[in-house]
Structure 1
Amino acid sequence: MQEFVKLTGMVLKTVPIGEYDRRVVILTKERGKVSAFAKGARKPNSRLVAAASPFSFGEFKMYEGRSSYNIVEADISNYFEKLREDFEAACYGMYFLEIMDYYTRENNDEKEMLKLLYQSLRALQLPSLDKNLVRCVFEIKALVLNGEYPGIPNNRGNFTESTVYAMSYIEHSPVEKLYTFTVTDKVLKELRAIADIYKKEYMDREFKSLTILKDLTT
């Protein structure tokens, strides 16, 4: 008899398999990053269409196969529709999904990473927040949660006091309170420079969505 598990998480990536199926990667609260098959998800009338779509967040009912999970049903509570309606926001969001796919691992405790991803996607939908600021905060906090954050750069004297304060706030604040501030253009420029330095040093790959973002913002 098959034993089912219910995992809460967000779809990071989907890949078509065969004629009708999809393989999905889900960042879950209970078991870290997992791979699963959504059989028939490419059929227009399939009940698993939403379960095999990036950004979909909810509860996934699955059973374990020999090498992967298999999704039986899903209760999706947030589709992040506004991201799907805004191409630039969607590019930022896809970049965040790629980062999480890069950082997270199966059977790791990734609850804080999942929380960071969820709150960051919510922040991208807020017209009051600069999307580039959301990106800076996301990148820096991801380093903190992954245990790679090196602290404020040694040449901190080259940055304004407000930038140093913002870095400290990002490092020490709980994820739920990350996106509760705005900054001046000068501070944002300095945060962007710092985040770029860290990204170059700690991430050894390029991200497809980031290439698109560069074309959009330059």
Structure 2
Amino acid sequence: MQLKTQGLIIKEQTVGESDRLVTILTRDEGVVRAFARRAKNLKDSKNAGTGLLCYSRLKLSRGRDTYNVNEAFPIEVFFDLRRDITALALAQYFCQLAVELVPEGVESADFLRLVLNALHFLCRGTRPQAVLKAIVELRMLSEAGYMPSIAYCAHCGAYESERMYFKVNRGEIYCKSCYLDNGDPCAPLSPAALTAMRHIVFSDFEKIFSFDLSSGARQELAAAAEAYTMQILQHRPKTLDFYYSLL
């Protein structure tokens, strides 16, 4: 089976002296693993197109357990990420989320588009990293089937109150009147933070990066998004710890 697609290299491993085993977030088949022979050879055409964080035009063939990379032509290499180790670390966290959340064998253009857009903003440095991180976390979880229930208070149906409370283990919000502190992990949300959270989850893709927040609301959004992500993953990725070690 031959597959022509576009994809982002989200993980790479050297095999032997000159081969690579890569994990690719593809446009058409979700996350796939592929073997790229001689890709570490500088003279091989696959060298540039199978490096980590390279977005490439690919021709793959299906093997027994993995795909094989027959051709790889780079479209975007995100070179500027190498100039900022903090941005590079956050990009690697985004890749780890894709590895864990994007299924195999499904149309996955929206997942790919989300990560590519986030990487472009990271390169430019025009959006706060905490906001980009929350956008990728919440939207990727939503696309993967873990959309939080944040339209209304889970108990009374209220759309807003002076403060809402996001119960992380339930993925639900409660208004100030209905919230009961029973020890469940909870993230308090101001109206601005909740509006941003709803925007990320419910807006058309073209609009999800288009909002601004005060520093306080930004911190609330970031805390809620990260807590919910850890709840769904049920572990804390090493790439996230590395990112925080650089701040």
> TM-score, with normalisation over the residues of structure 1?
0.92
| Conserved? CA contact 1:38–1:70, under 8 Å | yes
What per-residue deviation string (whole Å, max 9, x for no partner) do you get for residues 63-114 of structure 1? 2222222112112111111112211110010000010001112212222111
Letter in structure 1 aligned against 2:9: V
For the residue of structure 1 that corresponds to 2:9, the secondary structure is strand
Name the counterpart of 1:192. Answer: 222
Counterpart pick for 2:51 among 47, 50, 53: 53
1:20 aligns with 2:18: yes
1:94-133 superposed matches below 5 A = 94-133=92-131
The answer to whether the 8 Å contact 1:140/1:195 transfers is yes
Q: 1:174 to 1:126 in 2, by over 3 A?
A: farther
Letter of the 2:6 partner, please give it. Answer: T
Q: Is the 8 A contact 1:123 1:179 kept in 2?
A: no
1:210 matched residue in structure 2: 240
1:65 aligns to what? 63
- Equivalent positions of 1:80-99 (< 5 A) are 80-99=78-97
Q: Retained in 2: the 8 A contact 1:119–1:176?
A: no
- In structure 2, the partner of 1:37 is 35
Corresponding position of 2:189: 159
Quick check: 1:30–1:111 contact (8 Å CA) kept in 2?
Answer: yes
Measure, in 2, the Cα distance between the counterparts of 1:17 and 1:167: 42
Number of the residue aligned with 1:180 = 210
Q: Taking every aligned residue pair, what percent have the same amino acid on both sides?
A: 27
Higher relative contact order (CA 8 A, sep 6+): 1
Superposition deviation, residue 4 in structure 1: 3.5
Structure 1: tracts of 5 or more residues without a match: none
Q: Which residue of 2 aligns with 1:149?
A: 147
Maintained 8 Å contact 1:115/1:175: no
The residue type paired with residue 51 of structure 2 is S
Q: Is the 8 A contact 2:50 2:72 kept in 1?
A: no
Change beyond 3 A, Cα 1:17–1:185? same
Matched length: 215
Unpaired stretches in structure 2, ≥5 consecutive residues: 151-165, 167-172, 177-187
SS in 1 for 2:197: helix
Q: CA RMSD in A?
A: 1.6
The residue type paired with residue 177 of structure 1 is K
CA distance in 2, matches of 1:139, 1:4: 32
Change (3 A) 1:208 1:26: same
After superposition, give the CA deviation of every residue in 1:141-178 in whole Å (9 maximum; x if it has no partner): 11111121222322454422111211111111122322
